[in-house]
Amino acid sequence: MAKPTEAEAEAAVRLLIEWAGDDPDREGLIDTPKRVARSYRELFAGYQADPRDYLQRTFEEIAGYDELVVLKNIRVTSFCEHHMLPVIGCAHVGYLPNRRVVGISKLARVVQGFSRRLQIQEKLTAEIASAIQDILDPQGVGVVIEAEHSCMTLRGVNTIGVTLTTSKLLGVIRDDARTREEFLDLVRKS
């Protein structure tokens, strides 16, 4: 699939402005197609890199640390693939290490990397969990995402303040009742 040129992307935005009912040639809108095309680069940066690469560098000097590592309230900015409207919320990511850990900022980068694509929240949650499971090979992984979907809050049923919660638990965080409770307790205290 050939990537469209920036000029083609700008023309598409221009058409949408007309479709919305406005005049793309008026002063306030004249540079809008250019701005939108450029902002798409940032908003959809998740297509330019493989988020799994962020997890490649790990640390094994952990002095026998074998308790849960949980990073909470990672900002999620995504776009629903059905309406291309923002999905805004936060992710909580945890794992039980198996002899090695990853830098915590890398967990946030993985969340960002998968978020900045057209998504549904269920798939996003599962993708983050399986990337951590596959690469870090921990004893267990837990990912919980809570987010507000603009396609529900700005249009359609217009229900403001409704959030969708999804979770994906793997390994001992799924199968061991105590570890699961500990993870979910840590997440709830956010």
Of 149, 147, 146, 113, nearest to 128 (Cα)? 113
The two structure tokens encoding residue 59: 């640390």
Q: Which alpha helices (H) appear in 6-120, and where do they start and end?
A: 6-20, 32-43, 104-115
* Residue window 147-166: x/- pattern of binding to Zn ion, with contact defined by CB under 5 A: ----x---------------
User: Judged by CB, which is closer to Zn ion: 54, or 79?
Assistant: 79
Say which of 8, 82, 122, 181 is annotated catalytic.
82
Sorted by sequence, the CB contacts under 8 Å of residue 65 that are 6+ apart come out as 97, 101
The two structure tokens encoding residue 122: 């269920």
* Least distance CB 58 / Zn ion (angstroms): 36
Q: Is 80 in the site for Zn ion (CB under 5 A)?
A: yes
* Least distance CB 120 / Zn ion (angstroms): 8
Q: Is 133 an annotated catalytic residue?
A: no
**Rounded (5°) CA angle 164-146-144:** 115
**Shortest Cβ contact with Zn ion: which residue?**
151
CB distance 186 to 142 below 8 Å: no
DSSP reduced 3-state for 64: coil
User: Judged by CB, which is closer to Zn ion: 11, or 118?
Assistant: 118
Out of 26, 41, 82, 100, the residue judged to bind Zn ion by CB under 5 A: 82
Q: Is 82 an annotated catalytic residue?
A: yes
Q: Is 80 an annotated catalytic residue?
A: yes
- Which residues form the catalytic set? 80-83, 121, 149, 151
**Chain contacts with Zn ion (rule: CB under 5 A):** 80, 82-83, 151
